[in-house]
Amino acid sequence: MQIRSVILVTGLILLLRSAAAWGQEPPRPAPRIAAGAWRSVLNEHPRLLGPRSHLRALAAAKPDIYSEIKANKSLLAVGVAHAVEGVPAEQAASFIEAAKKNVARGVTDIHQDTWIWLTEVALTFDLFYDALSPADRSAMIAWMNGHLEKYKTDEGAFHNSTVSKILCYLRIAYATWGENPRAPEFRDYALKRLYEGRVAPTLAAFGEGGGWTEAGWYARGSLWHLAQALELARRIEGYDGFQKAPRFFYHRLAYEMFQPYPGRWEYGTERFAVEGDGSLVYGGHTEYPRHLRTLLAQYFRGSPLARAVMNQRRKASNSEARLQDFLLEEEPETPLPLSGFPLAHLAKGIGKVYARSDWTDDATWLRFECGDFWNLHQHFEVGNFELFRYAPLATESGEDEDFTDAQSANWLTRTIAHNSLLIYQPGETWPRMRGRRQEHVRQRRRTGAQVGMAGGDAGGVGTEARNVRAGRHHRL
């Protein structure tokens, strides 16, 4: 089978001077909170949110948000209030009892649930340390330590839960430091084994342009977890993990400029394409890209891209997002005018292009991708494109419903559900699907950038039996 070329005219002229080129070389970091500034916090509790004096200063500087935090009943919110002024014993007791129930589960090795339960216990240990009995603290430490040998799930270099596990293990390490002889093991497991050994190499190898190998929808939450982990390590011990892949993290600011659809959505938030597994619904995940770009802009303070993303600054849309703003958001810089900012961005490492006609809310927006298959949350969509103007036009044919259900496995993940080149092969079967063993399809890619055109080479898709010998997608 020979497929020479496919040319589609979209009506959108792409000026492919990539936005990453606007600030190609990462500048020197210039965060206001210096590396290691919180080192002394390891001698007191709470620790994970910064020194008590820091939290009290935030409460004085942001009284409106702090008033809302005091009315919020989440673990993090009550923990902040307890650090600032103390809370009734019964409030702390409810979280302590919940942590004890997690401990009573025994040591687990369950995808995602394990790091969620561990995180809840680590936060409770730190935020309500003074309300815990010595016996309770010892039981929590013993339970958490047991996971060092048993919990081996969530460690893939390309998977979203790996970076969530990094944040979880760093919280355990710092929360129990000085009392738990195995706390340094959690720290090294997170930073040496998982981050430096697995995640950072993928960011350095495939992160050109700020793209990550996890599917877009899932990457929005997991990258926020990674940024939190690295910022916590930077502030407490002076470990600067951002410098293990500085081009990725700096270029991610440009990527975040293009990732949302133009305009605003529910509650004044951005609206994002599904991009692999995901759902086009409002939720807490909608705020994660905003938190990520805020934190990275503060790390690269004063740089062109850091000032450019200030144009995307907006208010949080829910109380949990405002809580994160309370903890992390600093006074913003003056935005850099977007009159000279590029209208397209190439994430070369993963083979993805974003483009828009202008920087107004009425802009036409395009996404085009032609990259490798790395992770099960991606779909078989090499050559896929999407158009948006006021609403999704040429777009996905559905949303993620369940990771292993028949609709997801037999339709949503497959090329036929996307705006991609289709290869007809009578009698084709799919013997290894989700829920059993995913068939890994490798895809070569060669992305180019020039004025007016984005091109991707889809040659070599599939196996020897069903191969696209030559296939080129162009957007003009």
Stretch 268-292: mean pLDDT, rounded?
A: 87
Compute the half-sphere exposure of residue 213: CA atoms within 13 Å on the CB side of its CA: 23
> Who has greater pLDDT, 299 or 374?
299
The CATH class given to the 1-18+344-476 domain equals mainly beta
Residue 377 banded pLDDT, cuts 50, 70, 90 = confident
Res. 10: pLDDT tops 50: no
Q: Alpha-carbon distance 126 to 389, whole Å?
A: 47
pLDDT at 101: 98
One-letter identity of residue 339: S
Query: pLDDT per residue over 334-357, tens digit each?
Result: 999 998 899 999 999 999 999 999
> Who has greater pLDDT, 386 or 470?
386
* pTM: predicted TM-score of the whole model, two decimal places: 0.88
pLDDT at 185: 98
Residue 396 banded pLDDT, cuts 50, 70, 90 = confident
CB atoms within 10 A of CB 341: 17
CA distances from 402 to 124, 276, 278, 373 (A): 32, 12, 9, 20
Q: Enter the DSSP assignment of 260.
A: B
Specify the domain boundaries for CATH 2.70.98.70 within the chain: 1-18+344-476
Indicate the range of 235-244, 279-288, 316-325, 441-450 predicted with least confidence: 441-450
Q: Are 131 and 92 contacting, i.e. CB atoms less than 8 angstroms apart?
A: yes
Sign of CA dihedral 201, 206, 211, 212: negative
Stretch 229-237: mean pLDDT, rounded?
A: 98
pLDDT at 183: 98
> Who has greater pLDDT, 380 or 401?
380
Query: pLDDT per residue over 151-182, tens digit each?
Result: 999 999 888 899 999 999 999 999 999 999 99
Res. 445: pLDDT tops 50: no
Sign of CA dihedral 340, 341, 345, 347: positive
Share of the chain above pLDDT 90, in %: 65
pLDDT at 59: 98
Stretch 121-137: mean pLDDT, rounded?
A: 98
Specify the domain boundaries for CATH 1.50.10.100 within the chain: 26-339
pLDDT at 346: 93
pLDDT at 381: 78
Which residue from 431, 407, 418, 421 is spatially nearest to 473, judged by alpha carbons?
421
Res. 452: pLDDT tops 90: no
pLDDT at 48: 98
Measured at the CA of 437, the angle between CA 435 and CA 439, to 5 degrees, comes to 120
SS (H, E, C) 125-174: HHHCHHHCCHHHHHHHHHHHHHHHHHCCCCCCCCCHHHHHHHHHHHHHHH
Q: Alpha-carbon distance 2 to 468, whole Å?
A: 7
pLDDT at 17: 55
Q: Are 68 and 319 contacting, i.e. CB atoms less than 8 angstroms apart?
A: yes
Helices then strands, each counted (H, E), the chain: 15, 9
Res. 11: pLDDT tops 70: no
- Domain 26-339: CATH superfamily is Chondroitin AC/alginate lyase (1.50.10.100)
Res. 252: pLDDT tops 70: yes
**For the residues of 298-359, what is the DSSP string, one character each?**
HHTTTSHHHHHGGGG----SSHHHHHHHHHH--PPPPPPPGGGS-SEEEETTTTEEEEES-S
Res. 150: pLDDT tops 70: yes
